[in-house]
């Protein structure tokens, strides 16, 4: 990111998850209730483990706000881990005598950061690695993303998401494009009362719930795919000028950085490989209704030439199943070399509804950064004025104004 910087810290079972978001303009009204709402949304979902019954994630602001508005200084924040007292000795910050130390974890879980991390950091206790690799760290991203969303909302951009697939079950299996089948009131309903798996197709959701139950029964886990949509994005965020200024590249990297994500697509994504140009590109016209540039389709997912083109931005991600299995896979003890079964931690069975919320946050952070990069602004008012100017310029071509 060019204008925003986000640094996060915190172990899953340490005292807190914390962070600093730097680069926000002054004068942005930040609603604590809306931040806490996104933190709550990240905790919701069928298939979550018992840890979510312990945590009640709430933001504690430590810097950057006065009377509910940003000052232009770094925004500091923290979310306390309510599980911490149960781990205070096992995760002691201070040195402990050997006899009080917990037994090291030496059987790495295939798919987790355990083995590569243990070799990298030269430790014989995998807990040194897994604590930070844990998806608990996404609390900080969702928190910062909730602030970015408020900056975007103040500039007419709305972000929402849904679970498109869980294992073999797809939402709207008969539709050519699941997004076109999502009911128009889904984003508002999802904010009010999220459904168990945040899937907008109730028939598919019932099958998804059965699939989670079957995995629970079998001691297994399951992944899937989610879609994030950003509406109202002004034309021209990102740039074709250089490889690292392209908006699709930034969105892909940020989404891929979410734990367990293995593939990211923009618009039609991987499907374009099998289609002809005439089936892929979105024809341009001057909309009769709006009088602005319009497209009858949005296969590009709102991005052409590395820039937003004014259509909704559509990011899709494939998520692998959680790597802790209650019926563990084979592994090798990192100290003795003896074969064994992977370590078992308390775990989730399915994370799809929650991963999609982290997806929203990452998209929000990248778009907020791209907005500030294009339009600058020491204050929210300066930023809004520049965004309004750009929107005015793209309403319709000068020659058609008569
Ligand atoms: C995780 C394991 C589980 C998850 C955790 C991610 O935690 P625990 O070991 O405490 O049961 O619940 O995710 C969160 C705590 C969270 O807030 O998302 C893992 O191994 O990555």
For the domain made up of 102-394, give the CATH fold.
Answer: Chorismate synthase, AroC fold (3.60.150)
User: Which residues form ligand 1's pocket by a CB distance below 6 Å?
Assistant: 12, 49, 51, 55, 134-136, 139, 324, 345-348
Which one, of 15, 190, 167, lies nearest residue 89 by Cα? Answer: 15
The pLDDT of residue 399: 52
The pLDDT of residue 38: 98
Which are the contacts of 334, defined by CB distance < 8 A and separation ≥ 6? 106, 107, 108, 115, 118, 119, 124, 126
* Structural element, H or E, at residue 148: helix 138-153
The pLDDT of residue 287: 75
pLDDT tens per residue, range 71-101? 999 999 999 999 999 999 999 999 999 999 9
Atom nearest to 12 CA in ligand 1: 15
CB 333 within 8 A of CB 105: no
Atom nearest to 42 CA in ligand 1: 18
The pLDDT of residue 377: 86
- Going by the DSSP 8-state scheme, the letter that residue 399 receives in this structure is G
CB 156 within 8 A of CB 232: yes
CB 330 within 8 A of CB 297: no
Atom nearest to 57 CA in ligand 1: 17
- Supply the residue whose CA is at minimum distance from atom 12 of ligand 1: 51
CB 127 within 8 A of CB 104: yes
The pLDDT of residue 22: 98
Instruction: Give backbone dihedrals phi and psi of 247, rounded to 5 degrees, phi first.
Output: -65, -40
Instruction: Give backbone dihedrals phi and psi of 355, rounded to 5 degrees, phi first.
Output: -60, -35
The pLDDT of residue 285: 86
Residue 60, beta-bridge partner list: 78
Residue 69, beta-bridge partner list: 29, 66
Residue 350, beta-bridge partner list: 222
CA distance 145 to 21: 10
CA distance 159 to 67: 26
Which are the contacts of 217, defined by CB distance < 8 A and separation ≥ 6? none
Handedness of CA 321, 324, 329, 334 (dihedral sign): positive
CA distance 31 to 150: 8
Angle at CA of residue 65, ends 367 and 257, nearest 5°: 35
- Supply the residue whose CA is at minimum distance from atom 17 of ligand 1: 136
CB 228 within 8 A of CB 352: no
CA distance 1 to 120: 27
The pLDDT of residue 401: 43
Measure 129 CA to ligand 1 centroid, in angstroms.
Answer: 13
Low-confidence ranges of the chain (pLDDT < 50): 400-402
């Amino acid at each position: 990111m060019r204008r925003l910087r986000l640094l996060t810290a915190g172990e899953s079972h340490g005292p807190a998850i914390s962070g600093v978001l730097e680069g926000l303009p002054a004068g942005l009204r930040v609603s604590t209730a809306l931040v806490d709402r996104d933190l709550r949304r990240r905790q919701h979902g069928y298939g979550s483990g018992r840890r979510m019954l312990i945590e009640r994630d709430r933001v504690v602001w430590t810097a950057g706000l006065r009377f509910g508005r940003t000052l232009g200084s770094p925004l500091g924040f923290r979310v306390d881990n309510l599980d911490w007292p149960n781990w205070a000795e096992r995760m002691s910050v201070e040195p402990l005598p050997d006899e009080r130390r917990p037994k090291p974890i030496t059987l790495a879980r295939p798919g987790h950061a355990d083995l590569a991390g243990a070799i990298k950091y030269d430790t014989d206790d995998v807990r040194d690695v897994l604590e930070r690799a844990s998806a608990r760290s996404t609390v900080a991203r969702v928190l910062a993303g909730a602030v970015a969303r408020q900056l975007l909302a103040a500039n007419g951009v709305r972000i929402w998401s849904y679970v498109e697939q869980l294992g073999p079950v797809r939402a709207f299996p008969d539709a050519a494009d699941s997004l076109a089948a999502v009911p128009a009131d889904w984003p508002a309903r999802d904010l009010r009362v999220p459904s168990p798996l945040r899937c907008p197709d109730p028939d598919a959701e019932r099958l998804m719930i059965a699939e989670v139950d079957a995995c629970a029964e079998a001691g297994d886990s399951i992944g899937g795919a989610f879609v994030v949509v950003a509406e109202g994005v002004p034309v021209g965020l990102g740039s074709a000028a250089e490889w690292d200024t392209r908006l699709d590249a930034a969105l892909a990297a940020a989404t891929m950085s979410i734990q367990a994500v293995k593939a990211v697509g923009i618009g039609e994504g991987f499907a374009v490989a099998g289609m002809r140009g005439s089936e892929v590109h979105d024809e341009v016209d001057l909309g009769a209704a709006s009088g602005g540039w319009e497209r009858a389709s949005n296969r590009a997912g709102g991005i052409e030439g590395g820039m937003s083109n004014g259509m909704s931005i559509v990011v899709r991600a494939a998520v692998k199943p959680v790597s802790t299995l209650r019926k563990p896979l084979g592994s090798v003890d990192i100290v003795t070399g003896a074969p064994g079964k992977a370590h078992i931690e308390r775990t989730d069975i399915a994370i799809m509804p929650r991963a999609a919320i982290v997806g929203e946050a990452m998209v929000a952070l990248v778009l907020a950064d791209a907005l500030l990069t294009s339009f600058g602004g020491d204050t929210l008012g300066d930023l809004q004025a520049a965004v309004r100017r750009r929107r005015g310029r793209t309403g319709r071509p000068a020659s058609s104004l008569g």
